[in-house]
Amino acid sequence: MKCALIRPDGAVVHAERHPTEAARGAEAVVDTILSVAEGLADKARADGLAPAALGIVVPGVVDEARGVAVWSANVGFREVPLRTLATARLGLPTALGHDVRAGGLAEARLGAGRDAGHVLFVAIGTGIAAAHVVAGSAATGAHGAAGELGHILVRPDGPPCGCGRAGCLESVASASAVARRYAALTATPGTASGAAGSAATPTTDGSVTEHAGSSAAATGRAGSDGGSATAPATRPTMVSAAEVAARAAAGEELAGRVWREAVAALADGLATGQALFDVETIVLGGGLAQAGAGLFDPLRTALRDRLTFHREPRLVPAALGDEAGCLGAALLALDRLET
């Protein structure tokens, strides 16, 4: 969980990180959020500052109008009235929002999309989600579930998705999907890239890493078969999506195949987004966006090829990094003061 004290001009005065305590259940997460926010307010006062408002952003389905965390698989929220709980405990005006929509709001107002009136922010990490920001306001949808770009269907015969369907965008083009696809192909007879003998450890973001030889202001995932001509299966090469991107850039054929598949799927998703929203700028954030030109150059070309009469948007990397969520929470809090 990331949290910060932020001035009205967007300057971060102080920042902290804390474990969410998600393994202990939703009540523990709520208590952690409120305790951390309380501590931040106390620090602000000790430093001669006057806390004006609190912003909290969380993953899942969020009803911003009611201030309720409706549902979240990550932290177990089910109809949690976070805004009411926070206001009662801290005595501050409180805004509750969605983490990706808040990040998109910050990028649209303060970051890479600040010169555009219509912005689509797309976060690509363990999953894929988006925020559509118009004139400085992020659309929430009728039920608090707007922006689930990762769950549009792009490959009907594609891999299973965590949502229960198959072929969703995030099942093909998220960072975790890229890592899984590369691992699967390197374990297939005849496609190995020479990484037999490695072991793997899962990471918290859903990717996997390779190692040899060893088995709130708060915002806050070998042998043959006895004569068969089929090549033997090998252990999968399990690395992060960033490493797959690096191997693709270095010319490795299999990594290049996986990367091209992900870029093509992402271009399909962004083309759908542009057809729906007609934005000036698409801002890509999250871990996969850090691949730089290795992602943006082929993605721009692929997106351009998919657009017919729609205007091509600017496609740019996010500018605010992992501060975007905290900044977005602060913007929501300031907006609440003005309403």
The 10s digit of each residue's pLDDT in 30-59 is 999 999 999 999 999 999 999 999 999 999
**Mean pLDDT for the chain?**
88
Residues near 334 by beta carbon (within 8 Å), at least 6 away in sequence: 8, 52, 53, 55
| Structure tokens that stand for 279 in this block | 């934005």
Cα angle for residues 20, 104, 294 (degrees, 5° grid): 95
Residues near 235 by beta carbon (within 8 Å), at least 6 away in sequence: 186, 187, 195, 196, 197, 198
| pLDDT higher than 70, residue 203 | no
Query: Could you tell me the residue ranges of all domains in the chain?
Result: 2-111+322-337, 118-215+232-319
CB-CB contact of 140 with 64 (8 Å) = yes
What pTM, to 2 d.p., does this model score?
0.85
pLDDT > 90 in the chain, percent: 81
The 10s digit of each residue's pLDDT in 107-165 is 999 999 999 999 999 999 999 999 999 999 999 999 999 999 999 999 999 999 989 99
The yes-or-no answer to whether 2-111+322-337 and 118-215+232-319 have a common fold is: yes
Q: 2-111+322-337: what fold? A: Nucleotidyltransferase; domain 5 (3.30.420)
CB-CB contact of 120 with 283 (8 Å) = yes
What pLDDT is stored for residue 222 in this prediction? 37
What pLDDT is stored for residue 332 in this prediction? 98
Number of residues assigned to the chain: 339
CB-CB contact of 124 with 289 (8 Å) = yes
CATH no. of 118-215+232-319: 3.30.420.40
In sequence order, the β-bridge partners of residue 97 are: 57
DSSP assignment of 13-57: EEEEE----GGG-HHHHHHHHHHHHHHHHHHHHHTT-----EEEE
